[in-house]
Amino acid sequence: MYIYIRNNPGQVTGKGQKVSGIWLKDADQGNGSPVPSQIADKLRGRTFTNFDRFREAFWQEVAMDPELSNQFINVNKERMSGKLAPKARKIDSMGKRRSFEIHHITPISKGGAVYDVDNMGIVTPKRHVEIHKNG
């Protein structure tokens, strides 16, 4: 029997990283851009019923952070305020996958922590596919 671990509840851990400049500039390479420490501080200790609820809260916190949200166009600010990930550029999309994605650096299937922000990177859809294709 397969259990989809992302559907399990969990408590957010991790510190994130201090970011400066354009936060998502590295979302198309490596493990992507780190979770900013100020967002980790807002989420740490909170419990979510599943990873989808975490993802919604994550983007909503980004929308409420002036330093980060000012780096996005208005339509993406609206998406994040509505608990949706911002859209990536067309060249960074992959088929119908158009929004930035949260990548687990150590895969959940290999014991990676689902709710540890230090195990997450924000990546473009194209980069996420590349990571899992080559991993």
Choosing from 46, 98, 127, 128, the catalytic residue is 128
Active site residue 104: yes
Residue 68 has pLDDT above 90, yes or no: yes
Choosing from 44, 53, 89, 132, the catalytic residue is 132
Q: How many domains does the chain have?
A: 1
User: Does 69 map to a domain?
Assistant: yes
Residue 1 has pLDDT above 60, yes or no: no
Residue 3 has pLDDT above 70, yes or no: no
Active site residue 55: no
| Contact by Cβ (8 Å): 119, 106 | yes
Residue 135 has pLDDT above 70, yes or no: no
**What is the Cα–Cα distance from 53 to 47, expressed in whole angstroms?**
10
Residue 103: the pLDDT is 97
Eight-class DSSP state of 107 = -
**What is the Cα–Cα distance from 15 to 38, expressed in whole angstroms?**
9
Which whole number is the average pLDDT over 88-111?
A: 95
User: Does 14 map to a domain?
Assistant: no
Active site residue 128: yes
The enclosing domain of 97 has a CATH number of: 3.90.540.10
Which whole number is the average pLDDT over 65-85?
A: 98
